[in-house]
Structure 1
């Protein structure tokens, strides 16, 4: 297994193995790998001749310094998990200085309004940071395909828009959410949950499933009211938002159309740890 900490070394290695005639899959991660990440790697390995995983906690997409500081970092453990998928996967685990070259700031991006909804509204500048690191990784690795989990569905749509607007020759592939046995969406932040909080957090997915069922017969407003009331009755949680949005535009749904696909998006705090999830509603 090849592990690189410098982008120049990775680029040199990719040039040496003649990637111009091979397909490359890229799985961008911030580490603290779980089965969801490993499923992305498995898909990439099955669809590409070369697979690269990046492990990099990107500072420019955090608008909360405490969240950045506490974000779990286990690079050696992550590398061992990658090895369980394949010894042929290339690991890119750079430093902040290597990526940003002493200028740790985000570029400004426009995503046709996708950036102003939900996560964008609650985390100013977040998607500029996402666009900055994703574009840098695409330029370094020059992948054929890039794999992103649907847990961060808004981010997936943002990356697809980035590729479209900035004419980047990468095929962006969304992959299903992996869940723990109790339904909690797998996330690196789950590591910070106590066993009790982890079990309590199963309420998030249970509520989303109920919202999906109600959406078939009730209005969007009624479903939103149901979710809001559910969490207001549970003092362990602080609901930041629940929104029903058009999958394509991410605009909040005020009425339902049979020609559109809708998704429920949620962000909730438990023990000051922020968790997000989403579900297709129709």
Structure 2
């Protein structure tokens, strides 16, 4: 596995792959890799000749009092996992390479509308940071395909909109959420949970499943459903941030004609913020 930190060297290697006619797949990450990340790599390897993974903990997408400094860095373990899967190249730029003029002077990318709702309302500026770093990494790696987990459903929609709006020449692939045996969506932040919090955490997915079943059975009193399941999570030990029932394509509030919905939820256990989502098809 090639390990490259320098952007110029990455572009030289990219040019070589391009001259050989290779199809390049890209998996951007912030490291501390779990099986959800590794599933993205497996999917990339199915359709691409070359797979590039990046590890960069992006300060622009962390808000005040969020866990940037505490975010786990596990580079040695991450490298071993990626090598075992046959990743071709690991790109590990540092902040000076990514934000040469500093964060305050950095040109940014912002996807209007979709970036300001749901998680964007709870974490102002978060999706600006996501769109900016993903756009920069796309420009550096220049992949043909890029792979993102559906657990971060809103992030996936933001990236798809950015790629379309900026006429980027690549295909975005969403990969199904990978879960623990008890249903908890895999996340690097799960490691922050203590034993009691970890036992409560799967109830977030349980609430989504129950809510989905009620919608499919015919209930359309969405506000009441949200109140009921917010109460359920709060009684279980969560501090619920939001539960939203939205149109899966636009993330707007659904109309009576919408048949493809998504339930999105976020909540705190202690200081740890967990998110999850579940698609609901009424077709």
TM-score, normalization by structure 2:
0.93
Q: Determine if contact 1:25/1:52 at 8 Å carries over to the other structure.
A: yes
The equivalent residue for 2:133 is 133
Q: Deviations over 1:122-173 (max 9, x none)?
A: 1111111111100111100100000000000101010000001111111000
The equivalent residue for 2:71 is 71
Q: Determine if contact 1:7/1:94 at 8 Å carries over to the other structure.
A: yes
Would you say how many aligned residue pairs link Structure 1 and Structure 2? 278
CA distance in structure 1 between the aligned counterparts of 2:172 and 2:253, rounded to whole angstroms = 24
* Structure 2: runs of 5 or more not aligned: none
SS in 1 for 2:240: strand
The equivalent residue for 2:231 is 229
Over the residues paired in the alignment, what is the CA RMSD in angstroms? 1.5
SS in 2 for 1:72: coil
CA distance in structure 2 between the aligned counterparts of 1:20 and 1:261, rounded to whole angstroms = 41
State whether structure 2 residue 254 is matched by structure 1 residue 245.
no
CA distance in structure 1 between the aligned counterparts of 2:189 and 2:157, rounded to whole angstroms = 22
CA distance in structure 2 between the aligned counterparts of 1:190 and 1:123, rounded to whole angstroms = 19
Q: Determine if contact 1:30/1:56 at 8 Å carries over to the other structure.
A: yes
Q: Determine if contact 1:56/1:94 at 8 Å carries over to the other structure.
A: yes
CA distance in structure 2 between the aligned counterparts of 1:124 and 1:103, rounded to whole angstroms = 20
The equivalent residue for 2:102 is 103
* Structure 1: runs of 5 or more not aligned: none
Q: How does 1:19-98 map to 2 (within 5 A)?
A: 21-86=21-86, 88-98=87-97
TM-score, normalization by structure 1:
0.94
The equivalent residue for 1:276 is 275
CA drift at 1:89: 2.2
